[in-house]
Structure 1
Amino acid sequence: MDERIQTGVNDERGGGIQVIARAAKILNLLGRSAGGMSLGEIAQAVDLPRSTVQRIVGALEEQGMIRSEGAGGISLGAGLLRLVANAHVDRMTVVRPWLHKLSEAVQETVVFSRPTGIQLIVEDRIVADRELQVTPRLGQLDTPLYGTSAGRALLALDKDEDVKALFATESATKQKTSVSQRLLNQLVDIRKTGISSDHGELIEGITTTAVALDTVLGRFAISMPIPTFRFERARDTYIEELLRCKAGVFKEIGIVG
């Protein structure tokens, strides 16, 4: 192929990829915006010329991906929502391969759970084939969220005032619970490290380490209940693999802050 033609093809491909990346960046930005944004606000946020943003926004609007209602009313459109609705993707379809990958990497049981009110529901588990197995039961746990490492990881996704409000609301309608200063201190540490752990609190002799994710498919936690003697031997490896799993899932469906 003529070198000039090859260069032109490469430029076209590179330009196409660049446009797609910029369009995705704009869509992600609008997805995080509670209300509409103006062209100028978008251009400043994505660090692109206003004219470039205007062309991309115009193309996306033609396809129904976004809608424009006046100077400051650019927001996600119904076309994008229809694509999401037709995708037929549930969170387990996305997450289960990562659970298997994590379990295989550490040869330990991996648990998937989600919050419901102030309780935790274990929805899935990958049980490792070990001489000493940990097999958590499926379904709703009796222990409040703050009594489990996965639950505390989920609570740490919220601000302290929101955690207090959650338990205050639930206490008024169901059971008497309160938020202690000890819990709030634990949540501060979890927010710093991204890791929540308990050492035999839920099951004697078992250390459970968990991470939580806020995603477009809901909030959930991934945890590993490990016999404490095994956990202490390879603590850094377990945590490293758990964080690697979290990063992989987040890249696919995570909500950027």
Structure 2
Amino acid sequence: MKQNSDKGIQVISRAASILREVVSNPDGLSLGQLALATGLARSTVQRIVDSLETEFLVQAGTGGVRPGWGLRRLGDLAGPSIASELRPQLFRLFEATGETVDLSTFAGKEVLFLDRFLSQQSVRAIPDVGAHYPAYAMATGKALLAGFGNDQIVHLYGQGMMERLTPLTIQTVDKLIAQLDEIRAGSFAYDIEEHALGSCAIGLPIGTFNGTPLAVSVVVPTERYTLQKKSIERALRIAACDFAQRLNF
């Protein structure tokens, strides 16, 4: 019995060492870098990171392992943060739609979730553990990219074909820029099964706070998207004003 207890303590200790490194390097660390920093075998790091990701304590993607929104939420207990400041507004959007909502920022070329409320409906859109979140394939990502100049977009993604996550994922920079121009003109950001089949999202940029660009989105199963689209858009417009008022943009 004591042997099992010791193993459990060892796993917790190893997970804690990995989390300390991730928190100290929020821009992302590779599995190899984590293994080197913690002195653990890469296979051990992989197993622990997989487990931490299922609890949303880390977010792993092409940019490396970063703090997850679950860890950020725990961190809010220790003091104020941008996520905790906007939590009441995010919850009002959640109540208005009944769907999964998230507050996000930009990290590298990917979306980084800062906070999220998950839908309680029997059929719901929830994040895929282990998936990566390229900004061009996400509603919040497009909303965030709309704050960049077109030259910056070309610098980020080049002129070639972008990775396709589903058959509906946008693939060219020209098409992306056309969508970003619409968002800049006041339109919504859309992800119509571009990130994952069966899942759609509508988003809006809500501004920049202390140098951190922010966007919000509502994620909905495809089967409810057409029916819910107009009401979600109305709720997002109200929420954007709500966020702006809170942050005095």
Match among 107, 121, 131 for residue 122 of structure 2? 131
CA displacement at 1:126 relative to structure 2:
0.2
From the CA coordinates, give the structure whose radius of gyration is larger: 1
Equivalent residue for 1:150? 140
- Measured against aligned partners, the alpha-carbon deviations of 1:71-97 in whole angstroms (never above 9, x if no partner) come to xxxxxxxxxxxxxxxxx7421122111
CA displacement at 1:110 relative to structure 2:
0.5
What does residue range 176-195 of structure 1 map to in structure 2 within 5 Å? 180-195=173-188
Q: For residues 161 and 101 of structure 1, what CA distance do their matches in structure 2 show?
A: 36
CA displacement at 1:131 relative to structure 2:
1.7
CA gap of 1:120–1:224, structure 2 versus 1, over 3 A, is same
Equivalent residue for 2:191? 198
Paired letter, 2:242? G
Q: For residues 184 and 234 of structure 1, what CA distance do their matches in structure 2 show?
A: 26
Q: % of aligned pairs identical?
A: 24
What does residue range 232-251 of structure 1 map to in structure 2 within 5 Å? 232-251=226-245
Which blocks of at least 5 consecutive residues in structure 1 are unaligned? Answer: 1-87, 169-177
Q: For residues 237 and 126 of structure 2, what CA distance do their matches in structure 1 show?
A: 22
**Contact 1:206–1:225, Cα closer than 8 Å, also in 2:** yes
Which blocks of at least 5 consecutive residues in structure 2 are unaligned? Answer: 1-78, 159-170
**Contact 1:123–1:138, Cα closer than 8 Å, also in 2:** no
| Secondary structure, counterpart of 1:203 in structure 2 | coil
| Secondary structure, counterpart of 2:195 in structure 1 | coil
**Contact 1:154–1:220, Cα closer than 8 Å, also in 2:** yes
Q: For residues 192 and 105 of structure 2, what CA distance do their matches in structure 1 show?
A: 21
Paired letter, 1:231? Y
Equivalent residue for 2:223? 229
CA displacement at 1:250 relative to structure 2:
1.2
Q: Which TM-score applies when normalising by structure 1? A: 0.56
Paired letter, 2:142? R
CA displacement at 1:227 relative to structure 2:
1.3
Equivalent residue for 2:164? none
CA gap of 1:103–1:138, structure 2 versus 1, over 3 A, is farther
CA displacement at 1:135 relative to structure 2:
1.8
Q: For residues 138 and 126 of structure 1, what CA distance do their matches in structure 2 show?
A: 16
Q: Which TM-score applies when normalising by structure 2? A: 0.58
CA gap of 1:102–1:143, structure 2 versus 1, over 3 A, is closer
Question: How many residues matched?
Answer: 158
Equivalent residue for 1:68? none
Within the alignment, does 1:216 sit opposite 2:209 as a pair? yes
Equivalent residue for 2:17? none
CA displacement at 1:254 relative to structure 2:
5.1
CA RMSD of aligned residues (A): 2.2
